[in-house]
Amino acid sequence: MLRRLAPAKINLALHVTGQRADGLHLLDSLVCFADFGDEITVAAAESLSLKVAGPMAAHVPVGPDNLILQAAGLFGSGQGARLRLQKNLPVASGIGGGSSDAAAALNLLGALWGEALPEQAKLLELGADIPVCMAGETVRMQGVGEALTPVTMPVLDAVLVNPGVGVSTQKVFQQLESKENNSMQRLPGSKKFTDWVIYLATQRNDLQAAAISLLPAIAQVIEALDCADDCQLARMSGSGATCFGLFPSGEAANHAADVLTLNHPNWWVKAVRLGVQGPWILPEHSPVSE
């Protein structure tokens, strides 16, 4: 049996720089991963099956629409495996849960079956975030998700907050007023937290305003994070609705998470560390995270 963390994917900045003739959007994004996420377990079996458990399991499709099963199909081997998804992350939330799950499953199934991983073109057909989730490291992601450049940055203490309502990525892109925006500025060479906060404050998430127009609760989340003690920057991740706040220490992040949970009991709130690098392999008998 093999186990792997499928970490939450956070877009610290996301600039929409164009749109191709086939409708796919061109992005320039700084992507990192949290030390918390879903968990995937695989074991040898005669046929392919998927069981979903965890606090967010009720929102996960278990049929052909499930990205994990679609990812398994990329091998085209017809081999069996028993997969289990411990769903800890909210769905349709802008933190790459489904893509990260699929990437973790691909890595585990490749190891279980002794097969080479699918080529990048196949991964992109499955989803634009699949290649970056396969990499599982802090990168600058450009193009439609195929151009990944490793980035060195400090580990950032943060709080993730989701208002408990999903938002459609497709609808968010449709709401964009401009799809031809400037790229990110040159990344800092520093490893200091303050330098990265200053830099990120000058960058954007071009999807944020469009997402707020569809789901005003996102603005409430950002305001609540902004007002938290010691929050240095608050922004939406991906296409929403999850937002993040950056804090100068783990103690400050944990305190903010406690206060936000108390004041907004219906929100999903989690203190995390961002920019953590893999490998994401979990011990076979480690306790399940929830």
Q: How far is it, in rounded angstroms, from Cα 127 to Cα 15?
A: 18
Closest CA to 31 of 88, 99, 85: 99
Q: How far is it, in rounded angstroms, from Cα 172 to Cα 178?
A: 12
Question: Residue 168: phi, psi to the nearest 5?
Answer: -75, 125
- The answer on 113 and 39 residing in a single domain is yes
Helix (H, G, I), strand (E, B) or coil at 130: helix
Within-domain flag for 284? no
- The answer on 140 and 66 residing in a single domain is yes
Q: How far is it, in rounded angstroms, from Cα 47 to Cα 16?
A: 42
Beta bridge partners of 14: 29, 205
- The answer on 116 and 165 residing in a single domain is no
- The answer on 181 and 128 residing in a single domain is no
- For 111-150, write each residue's pLDDT tens digit: 999 999 999 999 999 999 999 999 999 999 999 999 999 9
Angstrom distances, CA of residue 104 to CA of 16, 67, 72, 85, 96 = 27, 11, 11, 10, 12
**Conformational region of residue 277, where left means phi above 0, alpha means psi within -120 to 50, and beta covers everything else:** beta
Q: Report the 10 Å Cβ neighbour count for 104.
A: 32
pLDDT value of residue 289: 57
Q: What is the mean pLDDT of the chain?
A: 95
pLDDT value of residue 286: 60
Give the type of residue at 172.
Answer: V
CB contact set of 285 (below 8 Å; sequence gap of 6+): none
pLDDT value of residue 95: 98
- The answer on 157 and 117 residing in a single domain is no
Structure tokens at 228: 């938290």
Contact 232, 248 (CB under 8 A): yes
Residues in the chain: 290
**Stretches in the chain below the pLDDT threshold 50:** none
Q: How far is it, in rounded angstroms, from Cα 146 to Cα 154?
A: 24
Domains: count for the chain: 2
- The answer on 227 and 112 residing in a single domain is no
- For 14-27, write each residue's pLDDT tens digit: 999 999 999 999 99
Within-domain flag for 288? no
- The answer on 6 and 141 residing in a single domain is yes
- The answer on 68 and 186 residing in a single domain is no
Write out the catalytic residue numbers: 9, 129
- The answer on 186 and 115 residing in a single domain is no
Within-domain flag for 280? no
Within-domain flag for 188? yes
DSSP state of 182: P
Q: Report the 10 Å Cβ neighbour count for 283.
A: 7
- The answer on 70 and 25 residing in a single domain is yes
CA 13 to chain centre: 13
- The answer on 64 and 143 residing in a single domain is yes
Longest dimension (CA), the chain: 53
Q: Which residues constitute the domain of residue 212? A: 153-274
- The answer on 216 and 196 residing in a single domain is yes
